[in-house]
Amino acid sequence: MKKVINDPNGVVSEMLEGMVLAYPEKLRQLEGTTVLVRKDAPVTGKVAIVSGGGSGHEPSHAGYVGRGMLDAAVAGEVFTSPTPDQVYEAIKAVDSGAGVLLIIKNYTGDVMNFEMAAEMAEAEGIKVAKVIVNDDVAVENSTYTTGRRGIAGTVFVHKIAGAKAEKGASLEEVEAVANKVITRVKSMGIALSPCTVPAVRKPGFEMADDEMEIGMGIHGEPGTERTKMKTSREIAELLVEKVLAELEFTNGEEAAVLINGLGATPLMELYIFNKDVAELLKQKGVKVYKTFIGEYMTSIEMAGLSLSILKLDEELINLLDMPVDVVGW
């Protein structure tokens, strides 16, 4: 295992400290917690948005803390849900009285711990709403999940719900637009190599040099099949077909596209893949309004990528275009 770290069991705390040192004008850490909040939290009169999950997916989720997106992100240990107490501290720190929306990726530990934290906060008189993101179309039920997994499409939920909250919308309105995005965003990924959890010190699985995994999860959960390596065009054809099968586009409807690297995929390859995706979507009558390319939700140093497509309408376009001041967008 070759990693630029100190203590394998201290990577999360040192990472968070490093982020705050890099962006002190944007972020602060709640003392004694793994919670990063926006510098000016709580923001008077604004619905607060809290998300989080296991570390190892950076820039998710702390990279989306700031004006226009999240008010707080809660970091668990690598690939491990944060505890209810940590989420509870985040809720308390950002609530201004307008309520708090929890954006939860659909993993059993995350759902259970965020829901427990919500109950703790509600017992203190804080108004809390919850949405669960399940954008991964690859598999139903997995190692960590009942139902479909939440992956990179979650970032679109952060962006659009965050914009709605920044405009002064009510908790009910912010929750509604978050759920609207969840119904309209679908994703699927592929992996070319495993990743290594620092404390484990060895790869989570083995894969031959000429193999790839279709539909692998962001924690290394198995996908739908392992195949021989395919070209970018072949991968694009597969993922576009699977994702569009879950979305009903009529000719000319607009979409936002997210090409997400999983940690070790060069931008060169992401841009090649995007060329193929863009050509396929054009053939299918889907108009790409905006494309986002880069690392948005990684899996430590896994090689691979995911494709997320968000079906847009006028409201979602306006919220997607609103300015943000965060590290990772």
CA distances from 274 to 78, 288, 294, 297, 307 (A): 29, 11, 11, 17, 9
State phi, psi for 193 to the nearest 5 degrees.
-155, 160
First-to-last alpha carbon distance for the chain, in angstroms, is: 30
158 belongs to the catalytic site: no
219 belongs to the catalytic site: yes
In the chain, at which residue ranges do the beta strands (DSSP E only) sit? 27-29, 35-38, 48-55, 72-78, 100-105, 128-133, 185-191, 211-214, 225-228, 254-261, 287-294, 304-311
Catalytic hit among 46, 148, 158, 219: 219
Catalytic hit among 57, 148, 149, 180: 57
CA distances from 45 to 17, 101, 276 (A): 29, 14, 45
- The answer to whether the bond into 42 is cis (omega within 30° of 0) is yes
Q: Which residues belong to the active site?
A: 57, 219
